[in-house]
Amino acid sequence: QKEVEQNSGPLSVPEGAIASLNCTYSDRGSQSFFWYRQYSGKSPELIMSIYSNGDKEDGRFTAQLNKASQYVSLLIRDSQPSDSATYLCAVKRGYGNKLVFGAGTILRVKS
Amino acid sequence: DTEVTQTPKHLVMGMTNKKSLKCEQHMGHRAMYWYKQKAKKPPELMFVYSYEKLSINESVPSRFSPECPNSSLLNLHLHALQPEDSALYLCASSQGVLAGGTNEQYFGPGTRLTVT
């Protein structure tokens, strides 16, 4: 079992729809969770972080965390073609701030 | 605009060359990181520096040698690399490394390295 798992996609959604990206993790001791967006040929860009169970909203983005189920998700409302990218889920483990990344989900928003 | 800068943007080197990658952050962060990312793969951690001291080395081959001259600068010295070392090398920084803290990591634009 991989430490952080994501569906590789591609996930295709029409413009204006809600895109739902999911991530599961295996280490129950994980404390912090992050979503990065990476455009082709570019570096990862931090878009959301979440540390407590529940929802966290920032503009069109909502991160959801359920530690009991070891599950974290990212919702993108009113999806735009510019949201088309690879979304990486990252989980922080213990001391040293080591991030473990999932393989990423490719999102395609079609106009 | 990213506040983590990396130079050069692209580097082509032979297997007998010695080169260095440079990273600088302007956010007052005390932790800096080197990651390696192969095509269509997620970033993989190589090294972590905390308060200018090496705190994590993910069993990286000795042909990669990190250096942290001060809390704003991070170098990666390269020597006798192999073609399979060709990748995007990413630098990141965060406020610190304490467990339980937030410590979001912010990435620089990366250096695309090709070893011939």
Give φ, ψ of A4 to 5 degrees.
-130, 125
- Is A45:B107 a contact under the CB 8 Å cutoff? yes
CB neighbours of B108 closer than 8 A, spacing ≥ 6? A43, B2, B4, B5, B6, B23, B25, B90, B91, B92
Distance of residue B45 Cα from the nearest chain A Cα, in angstroms = 7
B101-113 average pLDDT score: 90
Query: Out of B56, B100, B107, whose CB is closest to A96?
Result: B56
Edge-to-edge strand order for the sheet containing A19-25? A4-6, A19-25, A71-76, A61-66, A54-58
Tokens standing for A84?
Answer: 């088309």
Q: What is the pLDDT of residue B102?
A: 63
**Is B23:B108 a contact under the CB 8 Å cutoff?**
yes
State yes or no: pLDDT of A107 exceeds 90: yes
Query: Could you give the CA distance from residue B43 to residue A4 in angstroms, rounded to a whole number?
Result: 13
* Interchain pair B104, A49: CB under 8 A: yes
Say if residue A2's pLDDT is above 90.
no
Helix, strand, coil shares, percent, chain B, to 5: 5, 55, 40
Distance of CA A95 to the CA centre of its chain: 22
DSSP 3-state percent helix, strand, coil across chain A (nearest 5): 5, 55, 40
Q: A44 and B90 in contact by Cβ < 8 A? A: yes
C-beta neighbour count of A24 within 10 angstroms: 20
State the pLDDT confidence band at B84, using cuts at 50, 70 and 90.
Answer: very high
**B75/B23 Cα distance (integer angstroms):** 6
Q: A57-69: per-residue pLDDT in tens?
A: 999 999 999 999 9
Mean pLDDT to the nearest integer, B33-60? 95
Residue A80 has pLDDT above 80, yes or no: yes
Interface test with chain B among A43, A50, A58, A87, by most B beta carbons within 10 Å:
A43
Q: Is the confidence at residue A95, as pLDDT, over 80?
A: no
Mean residue pLDDT across chain A: 94
Mean pLDDT for the stretch of residues A73-94: 95
d(CA A77, CA A21): 12
